[in-house]
Amino acid sequence: MSELEHYTLTINGEERQVADAWIGESLLYVLRERLGLPGSKGACEQGECGSCTVYVDNAAVCSCLVMAATAVGTQIATVEGLNQDGTLTDVQQAFVSEGAVQCGFCTPGLVMAVHHLLDHNGTPNEQEIKEALSGNICRCTGYGRIFAAVDSVIAVRKRTAS
Amino acid sequence: MTFTKTQRDILGSSALRPDGVSKVQGDFAFSSDLHAENMLWGATLRSPHPYARIISIDLSGAWKIAGVECVITAEDVPGQLTYGLISEDQPVFAKDFVRYMGEPVAAVAADHPETCRRALAAIRVDYEILTPLTNPEHAIDDSHEPIHPDGNIIRKQRIVHGDVNATGPIVVEGTYDIGMQDQAFLGTESALAIPDHDGAGIEVFVATQWLHEDRKQMAKCLGLPEEKVRIVLGGVGGAFGAREDISLQVHTSLLAMRTSRPVKMQYGREESFFGHVHRHPAQIWMRHHANTDGRIVKIEARFVFDGGAYSSTSSAVLINGVTHTQGPYQCPNAIVDGYATRTNNPPCGAMRGFGVVQACFAHEGQMDKLAAATGIDEVEIRLRNVIHTGDTMITGQVLESVAPLERCIRETAAMPLPPEMEAEPHELDLPGGSGRTAERRNIVRGIGWGVSMKNLMYSEGFDDYSTARCTLDNGSVVLKFATSEVGQGFVTLAPQIARSVLGVDDVTYDTIDTQIGSAGSTSASRQTWMSGGAVDGACRMVRERLFEHVGALHGVDPLRLAIDDTDVIDTIGTLRISVQEASANFSVSETYEYHHRPTQDLDDNGQGNCHVAFAFVAHRAVVDVDVELGLVKVVQIATAQDVGRVLNPMSVIGQIEGGIAQGLGLAVMEEIIVTNGIVRNPSFTDYLLPTALDAPQVLISMIEEPDPQAPMGAKGVGEAPCISVTPAIVAAIRNATGKSIDRCPVRPQDICF
C-alpha cells in the first residue's frame, strides 16, 4: 500500500519503532500485528466490549478506537507490562484462584480494568465495581467469579494495609 | 461462596485451570493470535441480499490491486461444492444463487487486511434481486417457490402418543415466540492454514468445537484425503454452539493451497454475525388439557423452527424441541407437529440448549397458565406433575436417568428472597441502570418460576463416541484427546480424573489435534460424560497394567492391588509402595474409546428411544420492573441443578452463573432483528449483551445424586443453567405487570403498551 508512515510509540516504558505502517491502523492492530503484543484482544472493534483495554497516559481506553499514529508522545501500558518481573499481580492471581477465567478472551482487558479501578479507588462498593467493569463484556462467566476475584483482592489489600 | 481446596487436585476439588496463568497474562495463544512467516491475510466477500440470482462476477478489479495474491470463487473449489453437519446443502461459495444476507461469494488473500478490504470492494457482482422467503409459514404452506433444490421444509416430525382424543376439564393454550439469539462468543472466527511443502496437504489451526468433523467436511471440499488435512485446536474464545458448523475453514485452506503460503483469516464482529449460525427463532403453540387437580391429561403442540437458508443442525434441533414438549412433567397423551423450515433468513443451528430452550419457554408459560386456571400456585402445580425415573415420555421412551427434579424445586423454593428495594435506591440498582431513567414509585417487583429437563449427548442413533489416550511414564502422566477446550474446563477436569484413578499428581495434556481418534463435539453437555468417560477408561486400563507390573515385581496377584491416595497397596496384605516408585523405569500407554448406550430413530409417530440421558434444573427469578418505561432489572436468580456428582465445584458454579447470564440475555436483551431477510443489528452496539451491571445475585444449590449410567456419576452441566431461567424471568415480568407476555426477549413495548 502507499501512504506508509514511520513513528515511535512508548509502550510499557519502552520506545518501539513502527515502520511502514498504514496511517489508518488502530493502536490495537499495531500492538498485536506489528509489535508482537497480542495480549490486548479484539472482539468488537467499536469500543463496546473492553477486551482491548490499555492505558494511554493512565486513562483506560479501548485500543481499537485509538489511531496508533495519534498515540505518539503518550505513555501506553498494556497487559504485557504487568508482569515484567515474571510474577502475577494480585489481580491476576485472584482471577486464576477464584475461577474468573473460562475461555479467557475478555480476561486481559478485565485485568486491566480492575487494576485501573483499584488504582483510583481502593475500597469500591458493589455498585462502583459493577459500574467500573460494565465496559468489559464477559460471555462465559456471568461475572460472578469475576466479582469474587475483585472482592478477594480488596480484602487481601485491606488486610495487608492494616 | 468459598471453595475448599483439597491437597491434591483430584475429582471433587476446585482444581485451577492449567491455562489460567497464561490467560491472565495475555500470552495464551488464541487462534487469532497465531502468525506464520510469509503469511497472507484472507477475507470474504458476502452477499448484501437475502435472495438473489448471481448474473456475473467480475474479479478483475481485485486482481489489479498491488498486494493481492489470490481471488477465488465457487469455480475454484476443487472438491465437493457444498458442506454441512447433517445435510450437505450449503455452498462453500454461492454459485447461482445467494440465499441469505452475508452468504460467501468470493474470497481474497493479500498482504494486509486493508488490502483485502479494498480488493473485496473492487469485486463486481451483478445480482438479480429476488423476493425472499422470510415467513416460515410460507415455507410450510408451499406458497413460495423452492429456494433450494432440497425444498423449503428441512424436516417435519409428528409425535402421537396415547389417546389423542383425551381431554380434561381445564384447557389452557398459548402461542409463544422466541427471538433469534446470537452466541456472541468474544473470540471471533479465526484460522491459520499452512500448506504442506508439496502442496498435497494442509495444516489448519482453528478455533472449533469438533476437530474431526471439521476435517471430514474440509477434506471433501478441498478434494483431499482426510489424512492430508491436519486440524490443531487454536485457542478458542468461547463457542456456545456457534463453532459446530465450519465457517472459514475451507476458504482459508483453499487460499493457502492456491498461494502455497500460510493464510490467516479472522472475522470482525459484524462479519461474525453473518459467519455463524444462530439460535433458531421459533413460534410454538401449545394447548394443555388437565384435571381440576392440575394434573396434565394431554398436550397438543405445534412447533415452527425457522432454520434459515441452510439446514445446519436444524433437523436435530427440531427433534430436541418436539421431544421436550412435555418438559419435566408426566404427560400420558400428546399430539405434536413440528417443522424446521428453510427461508432466506440467516441460517440457524446449534446454540447452548439446542431446541430445548424454545420448548421450555412454551411449556413453562403453559404451566403458569395452568396454575392460574386451577388456582394452584406455580410451585405446587409443577410438583404435582413432576416426572420420575421410570416414567414413560411422549416418545414412548422410559426415563432411565436419575431425576431429582422435586428436590431441585423444593431446594430452590427454600432459598431466601432478596430484600425489598430501598425507598431511595442507588441509581444503578434501578431498572435501566446508569441511564437514571426509572422512577422508584413506578417499580413493581415480580417473582417467576421455570423448570426444565435437557437431554445429554447426541440423539437418534448417533454414536458420538470419544477417544482418549493415557501414557504413564516414570511417574508422570500425559493425556491425549481431541476434545475441544472452548473455556468450559475439560483441560482442568481430565488431569483431575487421571490423578484420582492413578494416584499420580504430575499430569499434563498433549496438543489437542486430529492425531488421535475423534472426541465428538464440545456440545450437548457431553464432554464430561463422553471425553471424561474416555479419559477415565484409558487411565483405568493403564492402572491395570501398572498393577500387573507391580504384582510381578512383588509376587502379588494384581487383582489384590488398589490405588490408595498416591500409593499402590495390597488390599489384603502389607505391600504399600508409592505410584511414583512403582512406575519408575516403567512406561505404558493405553487408548480407550467411550461409547454411550445406543439410541434409536423416531418413527413416523415420533416414538422411539431417541435420547441417551437427561439432566434437571429449577430456576426462580425476582425482577424489578418500571411499568411506565418497560425497563426490567433482574434482581436475583435462585437455582438448584441436578449435576449427578460435582467433579469440580468452581467449574460447575462457573457454568451455572455463565448459563444464567445467557438465559437472562434471551429473556430481556438479546435478539438479532431481521426484517425481510436483512439483519439490522450486527454489532455489539446494537445487539445487547449482559454486562456486570445486569448480573443478578445468583443463589446456587448443586443437587448430587450420582447417575449410575454416567461415568463417575456426573452429568454434563453446561446447558441446563440457560434453559428454564429465561421463562422464569419472563414469568416474573408477567407477575409484576399482570401482562400476558408470550415472547422473548421482552422489549419495553411489550410491557408498556
At B334-350, the pLDDT tens digits run 999 999 999 999 999 99
Whether B208 shows a pLDDT value over 70: the answer reads yes
Q: Is B277 helix (H, G, I), strand (E, B) or coil?
A: coil
pLDDT at B486 exceeding the cut of 60 = yes
Whether residue B242 contacts residue B350, with contact meaning beta carbons closer than 8 Å, is answered with: yes
Residues in B closer than 8 angstroms to A5, CB to CB, are none
What residue in B sits closest to A24 (Cα-Cα)? B114
The pLDDT > 70 percentage for chain B reads 99
Q: Please give the Cα distance from B216 to B225 (Å, whole number).
A: 9
* A-B C-beta contacts closer than 8 Å: 194
Q: What are the two backbone dihedrals, phi and then psi, of residue B363, each rounded to the nearest 5 degrees?
A: -70, -30
Domain stops at, among A55, A79, A103:
A79
Residue B704 has pLDDT above 90, yes or no: yes
pLDDT over 80 (residue B435):
no
For chain B, domain boundaries? 20-28+464-594, 34-130+185-239+243-275, 278-459+601-752
> Which pLDDT tens digit goes with each residue over B224-282?
999 999 999 999 999 999 999 999 999 999 999 999 999 999 999 999 999 999 999 99
| Type of residue numbered B356 | V
The sign of the dihedral angle between the CA atoms of B549, B551, B555, B559 is negative
Q: How far apart are CA B19 and CA B303, in angstroms?
A: 42
| Torsion angle defined by CA atoms of residues B630, B634, B635 and B640, in that order, rounded to the nearest 10 degrees | 150
CB pair distance less than 8 Å for A144 and B693: no
pTM of this structure: 0.97
Specify which residues B478 forms β-bridges with.
B471, B508
Assign B4 a pLDDT band (cuts: 50, 70, 90). Answer: low
pLDDT score of B737? 97
Contact A103 B487 (CB under 8 A): yes
The verdict on ipTM greater than 0.85 is yes
* A65 and A117 together in one domain: no
Strand, helix or coil at A104? coil
Greatest alpha-carbon span in chain B: 84
Per the listing, cell 475451507 goes with B250
From A80, A97, A141, residue closest to B654, measured CB to CB: A141
Domain end point (choices A79, A108, A125): A79
Span B278-459+601-752: which CATH code?
3.30.365.10
pLDDT above 80 for B437: no
Residue B752 has pLDDT above 60, yes or no: yes
Cross-chain Cβ contact A134/B691 below 8 Å: yes
Among B28, B186, B486, whose Cβ lies nearest the Cβ of A43? B186
pLDDT at B262: 98
Contact across the interface for A146 and B692, Cβ inside 8 Å: yes
CA distance B470 to B546: 12
Facing B26 at nearest CB: one of A48, A108, A139:
A108
Which residues on chain B are in Cβ contact (under 8 Å) with A25? 114
Contact across the interface for A131 and B428, Cβ inside 8 Å: yes
CATH number for the domain spanning A41: value is: 3.10.20.30
Which CATH number fits the domain that encloses residue A92? 1.10.150.120
Q: Is the pLDDT of residue B1 over 60?
A: no
CB atoms within 10 A of CB B27: 16
CA-based nearest residue in chain A for residue B693: A130
Cross-chain Cβ contact A103/B25 below 8 Å: no
CATH number of B20-28+464-594: 3.30.365.10
Give the best residue of B428, B636, B647, B691 to mutate against chain A (max A CB count within 10 A).
Answer: B691
- Maximal C-alpha separation, chain A: 59
Could you tell me which of B44, B312, B43, B364 has the C-alpha nearest to residue B178? B364
User: Would you say the CATH fold of B278-459+601-752 matches that of B34-130+185-239+243-275?
Assistant: no
CA distance linking residue B43 with residue B49, whole number of Å: 19
What is the pLDDT at residue B753? 87
Contact assignment for A51 to B661 by CB distance below 8 Å: no
Best residue of A45, A102, A114, A153 to probe chain B, by most B CBs closer than 10 Å: A102
Query: What 3-state class would DSSP assign to A84?
Result: coil
B91, β-bridge pairs:
B82
Beta carbons of A39 and B27 less than 8 Å apart: yes
Mark yes or no for CB contact A143/B661 under 8 Å. Answer: yes
| A104 → closest Cβ in B112, B429, B487 | B487
Judgement on whether residues A41 and A95 belong to the same structural domain of the protein? no
The dihedrals phi and psi of B186, each to the nearest 5 degrees, come to -80, -35
Residues of A in contact with B682 (CB under 8 A): none
For residue B432, what pLDDT is reported?
A: 81
Structural domain span for residue A109: 88-161
Q: Which residue of B has its CA nearest to A98?
A: B650
Cis peptide leading into residue B745 (ω within 30°): yes
**Choices 3.90.1170.50, 1.20.210.10, 3.20.10.10, 3.40.50.300: CATH for B34-130+185-239+243-275:** 3.90.1170.50
State the nearest Cα–Cα gap between B550 and chain A, in angstroms.
Answer: 37
Name which of B1, B489, B692 is nearest A143 (Cβ-Cβ).
B692
Q: Which among A98, A103, A143 has CB closest to B238? A: A103
% of chain B surpassing 90 pLDDT: 96
Burial group, residue B463, by CB count within 10 angstroms (0-12, 13-18, 19+): exposed
* pLDDT tens digits along B513-554: 999 999 999 999 999 999 999 999 999 999 999 999 999 999
- Which residue, A79, A99, A123, sits at the end of a domain? A79
Burial of A14 (0-12, 13-18, 19+ CB in 10 A): exposed
Contacts of A97 in chain B (CB under 8 A): 16
- The mean pLDDT value for B498-509 works out to 98
B19 phi-psi bin (left φ>0, alpha ψ -120 to 50, beta other) = alpha
What b/e readout covers B276-291, taking b as 16+ CB neighbours within 10 angstroms? bbbbbbbbbebbbbbe
How many CB atoms are located within 10 Å of the residue B144 CB? 18
Q: Which residue of A has its CA nearest to B682?
A: A44
For B415, list phi and psi in degrees, rounded to 5: -75, 150
The pLDDT of residue B2 is: 55
User: Is residue B736 within 8 Å of B171, Cβ to Cβ?
Assistant: no
| Chain A residues near residue B3 by CB distance under 8 angstroms | 99
Which of A12, A22, A29, A44 would you mutate first to test chain B, the one with the most B CBs within 10 A? A44
B-chain residues near A42 (CB < 8 A) = 32, 188
What SS3 class is residue B506? Answer: coil
Q: Which of B633, B433, B623 is nearest to A127 (CA)?
A: B433
pLDDT at residue B579 greater than cutoff 90: yes
Q: Name chain B contacts of A136, Cβ cutoff 8 Å.
A: 691-692
What 3-state DSSP class applies to B684? Answer: coil
Instruction: Report which of B642, B665, B664, B660 is spatially closest to residue B714, judged by C-alpha positions.
Output: B642
Q: CA-nearest residue of chain A to B34?
A: A38
Look at A103 and B489 and tell me if their CB atoms are within 8 Å.
no
For chain A, the domain total comes to 2
Q: Residue B647 has what DSSP assignment?
A: S
**pLDDT, tens digit (0-9, with 9 covering 90-100), for B77-95:** 999 999 999 999 999 999 9
CB nearest B654 (choices: A38, A80, A102): A102
Contact (CB, 8 A) for B212 and B229: no
